[in-house]
Amino acid sequence: MGIGEATGMCLGYAVFLDREPSDSRDIVLLHELRHVYQFEGTDGLASFIRIYLEQLSEYGYLMPWEVDARDSASLCIRA
Ligand SMILES: [Zn+2]
């Protein structure tokens, strides 16, 4: 990926993962798939990006969508 500390990224239905294998790859994929679910609840990619950036600006990485994606991925791993 090469984008800061990010090991994954979602842009609509496109999910990008770091090429390097890691023990956390499954949880990163689950996290990004939750962002796909969030994307599906918006009016499209521009809307998704706008909402994401608004939340990021207001809350930082404790933003609702990131908290939801982390919680969702954690629940899936424990299931
Ligand atoms: Zn995320």
Distance between CA atoms of residues 47 and 60, nearest Å: 18
**Which structural domain range is residue 23 located in?**
8-78
Residue 59, pLDDT score: 97
Nearest 5°: CA angle at 63, between 56 and 19?
A: 75
Does residue 69 lie within any of the structural domains?
yes
Does residue 42 lie within any of the structural domains?
yes
**66 with 30: CB under 8 angstroms?**
no
Can you list the residues of the chain whose pLDDT is less than 70? 1-5
Residue 78, pLDDT score: 80
37-55 tens-digit pLDDT: 999 999 999 999 999 999 9
DSSP designation for 17: E
Residue 40 alpha carbon to ligand 1 centre in Å:
15
Residue 27 alpha carbon to ligand 1 centre in Å:
11
Does residue 1 lie within any of the structural domains?
no
User: Which residue type is seen at 52?
Assistant: Y
Residue 4, pLDDT score: 55
Residue 20, pLDDT score: 82
Residue 69 alpha carbon to ligand 1 centre in Å:
6
What is the tally of structural domains in the chain? 1
